[in-house]
């Protein structure tokens, strides 16, 4: 077994190396659908208190691995830790999601934004990474992550969640230079943050571009992908002699897969609005270097019966086809009301049904 891992399927698949079956992990796999997570969060007192405790963050990171035969763990944290460390006053209002007390509404405010030192202002995240890595003891690889600059900027300028994106898109169109200033600062901050996670034990990285899909193709290229490419260019890609693969995931961005494939990333995350086999074939035909695909089951499939879940798993596997380079996942985060028994059905089905696709 390579990389000092007892289970290295996830890393091998991202590197297009042979695997015995398709690896699977689940976005938000440590979350509210698990009763043990809800109990730990109640013990912590609040979501951010949970994030700030290395021991509790480790506890919830490992909880899904005790239930399911998952092929990777992902750091328990939040995408908004970086803007929080920049001093915008993050809080989580009950039923409303994240809120920033000091949203960015002027160039002066953006110019004054500090770039946090992740080993200091974000020390609690690094402590969680190192604690989780030790606790895993090579069981499966640990994924570190961040939000993309564009996604972070939407929350920082809007002041919280939004459906209209009025302030951030208004800034993008009316004062693009200031928008680029913010995104450039964020790309530096995210690069530092992810590299610190690698130095503290992360074995793979993922950038969540949750809101890139709300942009037009031209604006996606200029205001989202451009900055993710800058991050990829600045990341530690080898640590202690081992490859550190990176995945870029733009929700709603499957139509841009061929362009994302040129970013230098090792994997592209896909949501359920595209066919994974069609994307694979288009990349192969374009002659792009081999890049792994992650996804892309609709999370709502998990509300169905075991038979339907297995049918949908079989469909996604058949669409991707034979060979390595596929990491099975949902097309977005798991819903909070999913029955954990359905998740076990999913994980076991992926491993069982994918083996013929990896036979010689």
Output the known binding site: 28-32, 78, 155, 210, 332
According to DSSP, residue 140 is labeled: S
> Rounded CA gap, 93 and 98, in Å?
6
Closest Cα partner for 138 from 203, 47, 187, 196? 203
> Rounded CA gap, 161 and 184, in Å?
22
Beta bridge partners of 24: 328
Structure tokens at 176: 């693009």
Q: Which residue of the set 8, 37, 133, 155 is catalytic?
A: 155
155 part of the active site = yes
Q: Which residue of the set 9, 28, 133, 280 is catalytic?
A: 28
28 part of the active site = yes
Q: Which residue of the set 67, 78, 184, 288 is catalytic?
A: 78
12 part of the active site = no
Q: Which residue of the set 8, 12, 33, 41 is catalytic?
A: 41
Q: Which long-range contacts (CB under 8 A, 24 or more apart) does 277-281 make?
A: 277/318, 277/319, 277/320, 277/321, 278/319, 279/254, 280/320, 280/321, 280/325
> Rounded CA gap, 242 and 328, in Å?
22
Sorted by sequence, the CB contacts under 8 Å of residue 271 that are 6+ apart come out as 251, 252, 253, 254, 295, 296, 331, 332
Residue 89 DSSP SS3: coil
**Length of the chain counted residue by residue:** 360
| Contact predicate 152/80, CB 8 Å | yes
Extract the annotated binding site for substrate: 28-32, 78, 155, 210, 332
Enzyme catalytic residues: 28, 32, 41, 78, 155
């Amino acid at each position: 077994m390579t990389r000092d891992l007892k289970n290295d399927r996830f890393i091998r698949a991202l590197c297009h190396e042979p695997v015995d079956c398709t690896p699977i992990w689940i976005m938000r796999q440590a979350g509210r659908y698990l009763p043990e997570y809800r109990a730990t969060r109640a013990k912590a007192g609040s979501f951010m208190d949970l994030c700030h405790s290395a021991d509790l963050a480790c506890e919830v990171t490992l909880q899904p691995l005790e239930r399911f035969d998952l092929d990777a763990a992902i750091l328990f944290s939040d995408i908004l830790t970086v803007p929080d460390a920049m001093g915008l006053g993050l809080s989580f209002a009950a039923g409303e999601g994240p809120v920033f007390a000091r949203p960015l509404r002027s160039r002066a405010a953006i110019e004054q934004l500090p770039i946090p030192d992740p080993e200091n202002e974000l020390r609690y995240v690094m402590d969680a990474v190192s604690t989780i890595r030790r606790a895993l003891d090579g069981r499966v690889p640990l994924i570190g992550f961040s939000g993309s600059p564009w996604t972070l900027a939407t929350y920082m300028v809007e002041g919280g969640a939004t459906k209209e994106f009025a302030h951030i898109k208004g800034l993008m169109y009316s004062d693009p230079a200031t928008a680029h200033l913010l995104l450039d600062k964020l790309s530096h901050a995210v690069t530092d943050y992810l590299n610190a996670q690698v130095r503290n034990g992360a074995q793979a990285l993922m950038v969540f571009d949750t809101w890139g899909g709300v942009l037009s193709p031209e604006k996606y290229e200029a205001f989202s992908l451009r900055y993710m490419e800058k991050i990829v260019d600045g990341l530690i890609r080898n640590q202690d002699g081992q490859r550190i693969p990176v995945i870029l995931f733009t929700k709603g961005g499957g139509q841009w897969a061929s362009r994302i494939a040129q970013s230098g990333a090792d994997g592209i995350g896909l949501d359920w609005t595209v066919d994974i086999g069609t994307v694979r074939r288009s990349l192969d035909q374009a002659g792009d270097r081999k890049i792994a695909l992650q996804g892309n089951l609709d999370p709502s499939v998990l509300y169905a019966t075991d038979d339907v879940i297995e049918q949908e798993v079989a469909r996604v596997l058949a669409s991707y086809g034979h060979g390595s380079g596929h990491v099975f996942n949902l097309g977005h985060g798991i819903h909070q009301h999913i029955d954990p028994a359905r998740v076990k059905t999913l994980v076991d089905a992926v491993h069982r049904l994918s083996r013929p696709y990896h036979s010689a």
